[in-house]
Amino acid sequence: MLGELLERHQVPGAQLVVRRGGETTVSAAGVLRLGGDPVTEDSAFPLGSITKPVTAMLVMALVEDGELDLDASLEEHLGPVHRDRTARQLLSHTAGLPATLREQDETLSRARWAARSHEAPFPPGGQFSYSNAGYVLAGHLAEVITGMTWRDAVNAIVLEPLGITPAAAVATGHTVRSGASTVALDGSPGPAIEDPAGGLALSAADLASLTGGSGPMCEDQLTGMPIGPFGMADGWGLGWARHRSWWGHDGTGDGTSAHVRFDPGTGDAVVLTTNAGTGPRLWQALLERLADQGMAVGDHPFSSLPGAGDPVPPPAGAAGRYANGDLVLDVTTTSTGDLALALGGRPYAGLTCFAGRRFLATELTSGRMTYAGRFITGAGDGITHVQISGRLSRKL
């Protein structure tokens, strides 16, 4: 099955773990890089944002050891600039921090960055907004408490006790061009400061082993919160996202993707790692196959908007500029009356609107990826925010 899906979606290589009814099947297919070595069960793939649950496991280990209070102010560990935030808020994306770090911060150490005053787009604890910055801060929090680097602490406290040793060779990312050609990318690592949010590389089998014992992290933290993770999940715990009764996370990088879903009650799990930008499409096709085989994995698809119905005209007042820290979104009306989205002034996606001020954003460059979003109104019924892939931005 895996080999067929690789060919259909032009993914050079992938790993798949399916754990069902106490039995585990591990598959590896394709190559780490076009023309290169074959993928094995032990090969490492970039995890992207699935690094975040691993950082959360590190923080939760410190909570379990009594070195950190999940609900206490972070001032004791990180200084007065963070007195209104808690570790629980960092892990559940409710700390009000920006979606991303500023470009000028990317060369800083985490300690220097964390010591600065950060302009918070939203008040802590009031709403969900997916935040890389929150996990960078969580990683630094672990560094302060342990006296170790984030990576050393993750290895010693989370990975090594499970017998996980990160592999030296890591799969190369690939892009699939509109002309149907697959091209290897240079694989340049992201800024080191952001490692706690996206810097790990592991195998699918490693990821499957990390889902065991995650029960305490799989309690929805967003009950009663007015703005949840629309477009990403149905709820959020401490690191893991809730997809109906299943939990998991997705991670994308420069031409790579990784996906985890597991049921804490049964122990069933599905994990996929891929080395192409079309990996999310392969993931959706895989879930459809598994559903046909009687394994209905909870998921929140990238490419659909369940129950959306037929497209409708754009809502009044949707056009405008929205911001979340340095993330600036411009929503404009096209000559045909539709909406378009630009990121940082660059055209990015066309929007198809549905009832309830919801929309699908389809990438303009390839048309291969779509992301669910919505416009949010305030007390006066005017649009005040836009949320896309869980990231909340305020209208300026």
Whether 370 and 258 map to the same domain: the answer is no
pLDDT score at 303: 46
For residue 361, give its domain range. Answer: 320-395
Within-domain flag for 341: yes
CB 241 within 8 A of CB 228: no
Partners of residue 24 on adjacent β-strands: 19
Whether 332 and 291 map to the same domain: the answer is no
Within-domain flag for 70: yes
Whether 103 and 217 map to the same domain: the answer is yes
Q: Quick: pLDDT tens for 204-263.
A: 999 999 998 888 899 999 999 999 999 899 999 999 999 999 999 999 999 999 999 999
Whether 164 and 274 map to the same domain: the answer is yes
Whether 249 and 187 map to the same domain: the answer is yes
CB 256 within 8 A of CB 33: no
CA separation (Å) from 205 to 216, 244, 297, 307, 342?
22, 23, 18, 34, 38
Q: For residue 234, what are its two tokens?
A: 């149905």
CA-to-CA distance for 142 and 154, rounded, in angstroms?
A: 9
Kindly write down the DSSP assignment for every residue of 376-387, as one continuous string: EE-TTSSEEEEE
pLDDT score at 223: 92
Could you list the beta-strand ranges (E) of the chain: 13-20, 23-30, 45-46, 174-176, 182-184, 201-202, 235-236, 241-243, 246-252, 257-262, 269-274, 320-324, 327-333, 339-343, 346-354, 358-363, 370-377, 383-388, 391-395
Torsion over CA: 253, 292, 363, 360 (sign): negative
Whether 21 and 155 map to the same domain: the answer is yes
pLDDT score at 181: 83
pLDDT score at 167: 78
Within-domain flag for 303: no
If DSSP codes are grouped into helix, strand and coil, which group holds residue 77?
helix
Whether 177 and 277 map to the same domain: the answer is yes
Residue that terminates a domain, selected from 297, 312, 344: 297
Whether 156 and 249 map to the same domain: the answer is yes
CB 272 within 8 A of CB 286: yes
The count of C-alpha atoms lying within 13 angstroms of the C-alpha of 357, restricted to the half-sphere facing its C-beta, is 19
pTM: 0.95
Within-domain flag for 174: yes
CB 325 within 8 A of CB 132: no
Q: Could you tell me the CATH number of the domain that includes residue 336?
A: 2.40.128.50
Whether 159 and 252 map to the same domain: the answer is yes
CA separation (Å) from 78 to 90, 110, 146, 285?
13, 11, 13, 44
Q: For residue 346, what are its two tokens?
A: 């660059």
CA-to-CA distance for 62 and 137, rounded, in angstroms?
A: 15
Residue that terminates a domain, selected from 297, 330, 356: 297
Residue 289 φ then ψ, to 5°? -65, -45
Q: Among residues 348, 347, 337, which one has the least CA distance to residue 371?
A: 348
pLDDT score at 304: 53
Q: Could you tell me the CATH number of the domain that includes residue 93?
A: 3.40.710.10
CA-to-CA distance for 285 and 287, rounded, in angstroms?
A: 5
Whether 183 and 286 map to the same domain: the answer is yes
Domains in the chain: how many in total?
2
Q: At a CB cut-off of 8 Å and minimum separation 6, what does 64 contact?
A: none
Within-domain flag for 311: no
CA-to-CA distance for 114 and 99, rounded, in angstroms?
A: 15
Low-confidence residues of the chain: pLDDT under 50? 303
Within-domain flag for 308: no
Whether 332 and 274 map to the same domain: the answer is no
Within-domain flag for 310: no
Q: For residue 240, what are its two tokens?
A: 């893991």
Q: At a CB cut-off of 8 Å and minimum separation 6, what does 181 contact?
A: none
pLDDT score at 103: 87
Within-domain flag for 88: yes
Whether 247 and 189 map to the same domain: the answer is yes
Partners of residue 373 on adjacent β-strands: 359, 388
The count of C-alpha atoms lying within 13 angstroms of the C-alpha of 383, restricted to the half-sphere facing its C-beta, is 22
